[in-house]
Amino acid sequence: ITIHARTVREMSTVPAHWDEIKRAVDIKKDMRKDTLIIGNGDIISYADGLAKAKICNTDGIMIGRGIFKNLWVFNQHSAASSKTVEDKLDLLKKHIMLFTKTWNNTKSFQIMKKFYKMYISDFPGASVLRTKLMEYDNAEETLSYLRKYEAPRVDTRGINEYGGS
């Protein structure tokens, strides 16, 4: 059984109720049942998932929206905070190439655009780059632009070429 630790009404507006997952695990244990219980909700890193599973004694975890906040959530040896702009863009290029290989022009490339913010955020010029990529309608054009792209450089005063910090 996979337990998402929020109600339908709560959606994602409140933190996940991992105490309720632990309660379900305890009930299962008291009943001496072999049912596997998987916990889900607000897992933001590999270590966080392991910690929640250990504290609640679940048989596993499921990650949903956590991937949108941390592209490296499944990697125990790599923290998102250690990733560079180039790392993020390289992963986006890989995603685009996998999309193209998998769907071979049977699905619209527009689908990919909803993922851009996962890769292109939290660095100077990110919104400008996302806006530019929205102009392209296929993988070839997008990859061509990304291969030539250079992230704006921040000067010693912390001001980037767009005037922001």
Residue 107 pLDDT? 96
Confidence of residue 34 (pLDDT cuts 50, 70, 90): very high
Contact between 76 and 47 under an 8 Å Cβ cutoff? The reply is yes
Q: How many helices (H) and strands (E) does the chain have?
A: 8, 3
CB 31 within 8 A of CB 13: no
| The predicted structure's pLDDT at residue 79 | 75
Whether residue 163 is predicted with pLDDT greater than 80 in this model: the reply is no
Q: Dihedral sign, CA of 89, 95, 98, 103? A: negative
- In the numeric block, the tokens 């890989």 are attached to 94
Q: What is the DSSP string of 8-73?
A: TTTTTSS---HHHHHHHHHHHHHTT-----EEES---SHHHHHHHHHHHT-SEEE-STHHHH-TTT
Of 34-43, 80-89, 137-146, which gets the smallest average pLDDT? Answer: 80-89
DSSP 8-state class, residue 165: -
pLDDT tens readout for residues 45-78? 999 999 999 999 999 999 988 888 889 898 888 7
Q: What is the pTM of this model?
A: 0.75
Question: What strand order describes the sheet that includes 2-4?
Answer: 2-4, 38-40, 60-62
User: Nearest-CA neighbor of 96 among 46, 149, 136?
Assistant: 136
For 3, other C-beta atoms within 10 Å of its C-beta total: 21
User: Does the pLDDT at position 157 exceed 90?
Assistant: no
Give the pLDDT confidence score for residue 154 in this predicted structure. 57
Domain boundaries, the chain: 2-69, 84-148
Q: CA–CA separation, 79 vs 92, rounded Å?
A: 17
